[in-house]
Amino acid sequence: MRKTKALGASVDRVDGRLKVTGGADYGADRTFARLAHGHLVVSTVANATIRAMDTRRAERAPGVLAVHTPFNPLRLRPESSMGPVWVPLQDREVRHHGQPIGFVVAETWEQARHAAGLVRVEYDERPAVVSLERGLSGAETPEHVNGMPARLTVLADGVASVDEALRDSEVTVTATYHTAPQGHAAMEPHSAVAVWEDDTLTVHSSTQGLHFAAADLAMALEVDPSRVRVLSPYIGGAFGGKIVTYAQTKLAAAAARKLGRPVKTVLTREQVFTATATRAATRQTVTLGARGDGTLTAIKHHCWSGGPAGGGFVEPAAHTTSRHWYAAPNIEVAARYVPLNVPETTYMRAPGEASGSFALESALDELAVRLRTDPIELRIRNHAETAPDSGLPWSSKHLIECYRTGARRFGWRERPRTPGSVRDGDWYVGTGMATAVFPALRLPATMRVRFNADGTAAVSGATADLGTGMWTVLTVVGSEALGIPMHRIKPDLGDSRLSAAGFIGGSCGTASVGSAVLAAATAAKKALVTLAVEHPRSPFHGLDPEEVRYEDGRLVGPDRDEDFGALLAAVGRPGVEAEGSAGPGEETRRHAFASFGAQFCEVRVNRWTSEIRVSRMLSVMDVGTVVNRKAARSQILGGMVWGMSAALHEGLHPDDEGGRYANANLADYLIPVNADVPDIDVHFLDHPDTLHNPLGARGIGEIGIVGVAAAIANAVHDATGKRIRELPITLDKLL
Ligand code: MOS
């Protein structure tokens, strides 16, 4: 593919100015005549049946229009585009603290919130279990988790089980690791504004999948999908937390229909923690078997993942080990489900890879220490030339170059060295590294390209910009595909009425949508040429289509050429357009696809207080074509800061006594601030992966977080000699 100035350059976000000047309207910014406001009532116990709810005071409170409870519900069907789903107010069961159990609608948000506080609830309470440790005895061993077999094995010929391979290994390392449950705390809280007009519902609400959200609402409300439109042009962060359509959207839509007025619902920050969904806590056991030279002979990785009692998304922390990591001939992974009285669980940035790599990459470090070998050399020795589970060769993998380049840029000193041997004044200094891997996925997507008579070209589809830069991706890829400057590209997205562009998640947005833009551009150019040769007023009229080609915004014939805008003006057409679709195909049978990286960090641990400071971090990434260097760097930076957060700060604190997460608010839920974050270096290799898609771009959204927690834990061990196997690594664990 010919490179324009746009592709691979460092491009400012095309929506940046709108965002910093308040011109970008997020869902909850929308307002309408006669707008009413809804507010959730949430449970104050974790496990109970509701005996009664007294709503009389709430109903008499100023401005109140309606109070809905399980005794006076808004009807919602428990179905969604992803299968059966929990919906609020349809029964009297309370499964976790902070569960939506009522909905108050009033003239103002303050009135609705006030009245919600006046609802009195009587519960028949049962004991609750919130923490994974307390729930372990009730662990379930399902056949399938998240639609995958719960247990997977890869065994070499003649090997009966992974345990046999481990017994025959010269060296084994085994350990148990824990990761904390995490709350989705995107800057923009979940919200919805629902408007009915002539039996048609329009919902303004952030979502990662426009068509899926529309389908969810159609199913919940029993209306035809053609009568539901979802708008989500700007999103203040999503990270997996805005894939599923949660209570606030369904309740706002149902209440608006019933009242005959538009209804807006904005969750409080605390409600985001309990009324949407979280990342599950995990307990993981990893056993590595190796020969004396460090060659892995077997890996056994089992994960216990918490979730709501009725079932939920299982954090697939062990499963990733069988897919993308090391060339061990014998691998067994298994997932168990631990039912708890906790909010729903869902996808959160690198679900599985982020949590699983903490265990696997810590264990690798433990093996390196045991064998007195260098952690990078150990990983290179076990480099997977093919995908462990499928045996397929990778489409493009330059992980060893990531290690080598990273070691050079970071100033990695080869091991072994004695942990705790480097000191700078009162600070122990240590370094650590880890591998990062994230699968490169593609989803089917349809996009539309339209040539306009004013010389601009529209690139549109019902895709979403989670804050990741999709507005800019459409502009860059459109410019590349059409050979015209970026200022002539008019991107449009975030409207379910646009072409079905799939959902944005799994780091597959650019690969999926970008490929569809290329297909749409090809189709639109063809439509333009057809118009040019067929229209009597066209200067190309009567030529064979083969004689006319599209080149950088112009149509070029044997003896004439014309700008597409001028051509459209000449024939009196406002525009010509076409859709194009792209998706995964045959290539997935021939190759395995993933992005790779090596991540390094340096920590300083105070010898008196055990305060931990990250002083340097580096990622070297092999992600195929980098479409927008600036946005790509920001993605990796964001992932690394989040990884640092998971490593040192972040986690919901289960309180089995109180039956809740004790810190489900942004005052107590710790995340790094700028003063915690050191200089971060991000370096991209440049190896386009055109076997994956014509653009050559693989995912970059999630890989940035993947290896960071392990790299930090490994650095803490190097600094102090203490191996902390539980996230977050707070200083009390080092004392
Ligand atoms: Mo992501 S966790 O696929 O938004």
- Does 558 share its domain with 634? no
Residues 6+ apart with CB under 8 A from 187: 236, 237
Residue 181, in any domain of the structure = no
Q: Catalytic annotation on 702?
A: yes
Whether the predicted pLDDT of 8 surpasses 90: no
- If pLDDT is split at 50, 70 and 90, which confidence band does 416 have? confident
Task: Give the tokens for residue 87.
Answer: 């919906």
At 13-72, the pLDDT tens digits run 999 999 999 999 999 999 999 999 999 999 999 999 999 999 999 999 999 999 999 999
At 96-126, the pLDDT tens digits run 999 999 999 999 999 999 999 999 999 999 9
What span, in angstroms and rounded, lies between the C-alpha atoms of 340 and 579?
46
**Which of 150, 146, 148 minimizes the C-alpha distance to 82?**
146
CA of 690 to the centre of ligand 1 (A): 23
| Residue at 445: amino acid letter | A
Residue 140, in any domain of the structure = no
- Does 349 share its domain with 298? yes
Given the CA of residue 349, which atom of ligand 1 is nearest to it?
2
Task: Give the tokens for residue 316.
Answer: 């697939």
Task: Give the tokens for residue 336.
Answer: 């168990």
- Does 191 share its domain with 55? yes
Ligand 1 pocket, 438 CB below 6 A? no
Domain that holds residue 723: 279-441+589-734
CATH number at residue 713: 3.30.365.10
Bin 716: left if φ > 0, else alpha if -120 < ψ < 50, else beta.
Answer: alpha
pLDDT of residue 4: 60
Residues 6+ apart with CB under 8 A from 391: none
Task: Give the tokens for residue 564.
Answer: 């597409």
At 315-340, the pLDDT tens digits run 999 999 999 999 999 999 999 999 99
Residue 136, in any domain of the structure = no
Ligand 1 pocket, 358 CB below 6 A? no
Please tell me the total count of domains within the chain: 3
At 635-688, the pLDDT tens digits run 999 999 999 999 999 999 999 999 999 999 999 999 999 999 998 999 999 999
Residue 145, in any domain of the structure = no
Measure the CA angle with vertex 517, ends 210 and 579; round to 5°.
75
- Please state, as a whole number, how many other Cβ atoms lie within 10 Å of the Cβ of residue 495: 17
pLDDT of residue 105: 98
CA of 488 to the centre of ligand 1 (A): 31
At 425-443, the pLDDT tens digits run 999 999 999 999 999 999 9
Strand partners, 603: 430, 614
Task: Classify 489 as helix, strand or coil.
Answer: strand
Q: Which of 315, 320, 347 to mutate to test the pocket of ligand 1 (most atoms within 8 A of CB)?
A: 347
CA of 507 to the centre of ligand 1 (A): 7
pLDDT of residue 411: 96
At 70-89, the pLDDT tens digits run 999 999 999 999 999 999 99
ipTM over 0.85: yes
Residue 248, in any domain of the structure = yes
Bin 336: left if φ > 0, else alpha if -120 < ψ < 50, else beta.
Answer: beta
Q: How many CA atoms lie within 13 A of 707 on its CB side?
A: 28
Residues 6+ apart with CB under 8 A from 56: none
Q: Which of 702, 703, 706 to mutate to test the pocket of ligand 1 (most atoms within 8 A of CB)?
A: 702
At 512-537, the pLDDT tens digits run 999 999 999 999 999 999 999 999 99
CA of 243 to the centre of ligand 1 (A): 8
At 444-490, the pLDDT tens digits run 999 999 999 999 999 999 999 999 999 999 999 999 999 999 999 99
Query: Of 527, 561, 583, which residue constitutes the final position of a domain?
Result: 583
Measure the CA angle with vertex 169, ends 168 and 175; round to 5°.
120
Whether the predicted pLDDT of 506 surpasses 70: yes
- Does 436 share its domain with 460? no
For the chain, what percent of residues have pLDDT higher than 70? 99
Residue 3, in any domain of the structure = no
- Please state, as a whole number, how many other Cβ atoms lie within 10 Å of the Cβ of residue 341: 25
Given the CA of residue 240, which atom of ligand 1 is nearest to it?
4
Distances (CA, A) of 253 to 89, 199, 611: 14, 12, 49
**Burial class, 521, CB count within 10 angstroms (exposed 0-12 / middle 13-18 / buried 19+):** buried
**Which of 642, 656, 646, 629 minimizes the C-alpha distance to 702?**
642
Query: Of 549, 583, 617, which residue constitutes the final position of a domain?
Result: 583
- Does 474 share its domain with 514? yes
Given the CA of residue 347, which atom of ligand 1 is nearest to it?
2
- State the catalytic residue, choosing from 353, 366, 579, 702: 702
Query: pTM of the prediction?
Result: 0.96
**Which of 439, 406, 339 minimizes the C-alpha distance to 96?**
339
Task: Give, using CA atoms, the residue closest to atom 4 of ligand 1.
Answer: 240
CA of 316 to the centre of ligand 1 (A): 13
Ligand 1 pocket, 351 CB below 6 A? yes
Q: Which DSSP symbol is given to 733?
A: G
Using the CB atoms, write b or e for 385-421: b if 16+ within 10 Å.
eebbbeeeebbbbbbeebbbbbbeebebeebeeebbe
Whether the predicted pLDDT of 3 surpasses 70: no
- Does 424 share its domain with 464? no
Residue 5, in any domain of the structure = no
- Does 309 share its domain with 376? yes
pLDDT of residue 617: 98
Task: Give the tokens for residue 24.
Answer: 């970008």
Mean per-residue pLDDT for 183-198?
Answer: 96
Distances (CA, A) of 650 to 124, 275, 697, 712: 33, 19, 31, 14
For the chain, what percent of residues have pLDDT higher than 90? 96
- Does 569 share its domain with 470? yes
Distances (CA, A) of 501 to 459, 504, 588: 12, 9, 20
Distances (CA, A) of 210 to 25, 229, 543, 724: 17, 8, 42, 42
CATH number at residue 83: 3.90.1170.50
What span, in angstroms and rounded, lies between the C-alpha atoms of 119 and 42?
10
- Does 268 share its domain with 361? no
Distances (CA, A) of 385 to 152, 296, 311, 327: 20, 14, 37, 7
- Does 423 share its domain with 327? yes
What span, in angstroms and rounded, lies between the C-alpha atoms of 727 and 651?
8
Residue 230, in any domain of the structure = yes
What span, in angstroms and rounded, lies between the C-alpha atoms of 569 and 552?
18
- If pLDDT is split at 50, 70 and 90, which confidence band does 415 have? confident
- Does 551 share its domain with 633? no
Query: Of 566, 583, 600, which residue constitutes the final position of a domain?
Result: 583
- Does 429 share its domain with 446? no
CB 128 within 8 A of CB 656: yes
Instruction: Give the DSSP H/E element, type plus range, for residue 528.
Output: helix 509-534
Given the CA of residue 507, which atom of ligand 1 is nearest to it?
3
The crossing angle, in degrees rounded to 10, of helices 353-371 and 629-648 is 70
